[in-house]
Chain A
Amino acid sequence: MKLRQDLVLRKVGDDYIMVDPSQGMVDLSKVHTLNETAAWLWEQLSGKEFDGDDVADLLCDRYDVTHHQANLDAIALLEEFEKAGLLEA
């Protein structure tokens, strides 16, 4: 899978955000907020083809977590990304 490349991650105050212009007829943009870990992962994964294992590996490298926990977190995060429409179709 791949992250949507048209979204730009920005820091506003203490928040990491991405503004997603709606492509429908109505002018209602969405704003996604990411926590620090998700924002860091977004930067690492940006432009790359990756899977859940890659995300878990990244988490293990950066944080003091078991591989099992990292796997669970990676799956949960990717589900969130999928639901929010942040992955390339």
Chain B
Amino acid sequence: MEANTVLELTNHYYEIAGLQLELRFPSALNLDHILPSFVGFRVEHSNKTSAAVVTFREEEVPSEEEWGTLRSDISLVWGDNFRFYEQKDAFVTLIKHKIKDKQWMMKSTKDFRESRIYGKADDLRMGEFVSWLLMVVFGQVGLQHRLILIHASVIAYQQKQGVAFLGKSGTGKSTHSRLWLQHIPDTELLNDDNPVVRLEEDGRAIIYGTPWSGKTPCYKNKCVELKGFVRLEQAPLNRFTWKKGMESLVAVLPSCTALRWNKDLFNAMTDTLSQLVEQVNVGYLECLPDADAARTSHNAFFEEKVETGL
């Protein structure tokens, strides 16, 4: 009887910001249909090692006693419909639902290199939830490879330089990108919500598009050199200020994601971020949602002589 429940799994490989993500899902599922934003990131299996492996089997979500210690149910970055739990050797990510049958859960090793997702494949929101859980995995695994998943809207200027706009939800990151698209020639949206920044061995910072982009379907498998970050704040005027040292770190830190109960991951993030803010330019823009705001940040990065902070 038990043999009948064993389903065959198929391996799928994706490459995001140079990291290979391996999914093992039941062969009967059409993954391109479930995860359309990932299609452009698919790779044939190389001999490369997978940075993270995520397995899905349709199984009951383990009961509440097995989740562990509640660590968080609020996050400025992740939203509030989920919870993180910690166990001795695992982290549990739960997507809450009033109806127990509609809950989704992921159990991961503490370094997030191996995860297992539990949920129901007939759930209409499966794609959305799996994509979100994969973002949690990628964000944490990436930290171990000098990658930081950031909450930002990012434009690519002249096909070669990226500027990432940061800010609390509702500040107008997407709006500011859109103003660049409208008023600054040779500008393209690279990602509207969750790009990845990678600090290369030679010290260069590269920003990558990802399969995650918030409400805007902009899933570009491409990258440009990161010129800098701008933290936005709504104001009755447009005013741009450069930030250095501690202030530049403070400007970027709230937009980065690390599970802060894991000291290793958090320290990896802070290490990379400390080096990153010395490599790129960090500014602060008080702004209106108008064309002049886009010109102000454009001029700061590409017209004035920019000090490198080094």
Whether the pair A22, B246 counts as a contact (CB closer than 8 A) is no
Given known A27-B72, A31-B250, A33-B246, contact A13–B309 (CB-CB < 8 A): yes
Q: Give Cα A11–Cα B72 distance, bound, in whole angstroms.
A: 30
Question: Is A6 an interface residue when CB atoms closer than 8 A count as contact?
Answer: yes
B173 to chain A, nearest CB (A): 18
Contact, CB under 8 Å: B253 / A13: no
- The answer on a CB contact under 8 Å between B246 and A29 is no
B274, A10: Cβ atoms closer than 8 Å:
yes
Across the interface, which residues of B come within 8 angstroms of A12, CB to CB?
245-246, 248-249, 274, 277-278
Q: With A and B bound together, what is the CA distance between A5 and B100 in angstroms? A: 41
Query: Are A8 and B267 neighbours in the complex by a CB distance under 8 Å?
Result: yes
| A89 contacts partner chain B, Cβ-Cβ < 8 Å | no
- Interface check A77, CB cutoff 8 A: no
Q: Are A8 and B270 in contact (CB-based, < 8 A)?
A: yes
A8 and B268 alpha carbons, distance in the complex (Å): 11
Pair A13/B244 contact, Cβ less than 8 Å: yes
A31 touching B249 by the CB < 8 A rule?
Answer: yes
| Shortest Cβ distance from residue A14 to the other chain B in the assembled complex, whole angstroms | 5
Q: What are the residues of chain A within 8 A of B76 when measuring CB–CB? A: 26-28
Question: Distance in Å from the Cβ of A31 to the closest Cβ of chain B?
Answer: 5
Q: From residue A51, how far is it (CB to closest CB) to chain B in Å?
A: 27
Most chain-B Cβ atoms within 10 A of its Cβ — which of A6, A10, A27? A27
Residues in B with CB closer than 8 Å to A8 are: 267, 270
Let me know if A13 and B260 touch, CB within 8 A. Answer: no
CB pair A13 B74 closer than 8 Å: no
Please, which residues of chain A bring their CB within 8 A of the CB of B267? 8
Check if B32 is an interface residue, CB within 8 A of chain A. Answer: no
B74 near A31 with CB under 8 A, answer no
Chain A residues with Cβ below 8 Å from B245 are 12-15
Cβ–Cβ contact B253 & A31, under 8 A: yes
B270 engages A19 (CB within 8 Å): yes
A66 within 8 A of B: no
Q: Is the CB of A25 within 8 A of B248?
A: no
Once bound together, how far apart are the Cα atoms of A14 and B249, in whole Å? 12
Contact with A along B224-250 (1 / 0, CB 8 A): 000000000000000000001110111
CB-CB under 8 A from A21, the residues of chain B are 258, 260-261, 266
Contacts of A10 in B (CB 8 A): 270-271, 274
B7 on interface, CB distance cutoff 8 Å: no
Residues of A within 8 A of B74 (CB): 25-27
A78 interfacial contact with B, CB 8 Å: no
B249 partner, pick from A17, A22, A23, beta carbons under 8 A? A17
Name, among B77, B266, B278, the residue most crowded by chain A CB atoms within 10 Å (CB to CB): B266
CB within 8 Å for A23 and B261 given contacts A10-B274, A12-B249: yes
Determine if B60 is an interface residue (Cβ-Cβ < 8 Å).
no
B residues less than 8 Å from A6 (CB atoms): 263
Among A19, A22, A28, A33, residue most surrounded by chain B Cβ atoms (within 10 Å): A19
The answer to whether B200 has its CB under 8 Å from any CB of chain A is: no
Cα A31 to Cα B247 in complex, Å, equals 10
* Chain B residues positioned under 8 Å from A14 (CB to CB): 244-245
Closest chain A residue, CB of each to CB of B269 = A19
CB distance from A19 to the nearest CB of B (A): 5
Residues of B within 8 Å of A27, CB to CB, are 72, 74-77, 260
Chain A hits for B277, CB < 8 A:
12-13
Chain A residue contacts of B249, Cβ below 8 A: 12, 17, 19, 31
* A/B interface sample: 8 pairs, CB < 8 A: A6-B263, A8-B267, A12-B249, A12-B277, A23-B261, A27-B72, A28-B76, A31-B246
Query: Which residues from chain B sit less than 8 Å from chain A, CB to CB?
Result: 72-77, 244-246, 248-250, 253-254, 258, 260-261, 263, 266-267, 270-271, 274, 277-278, 309
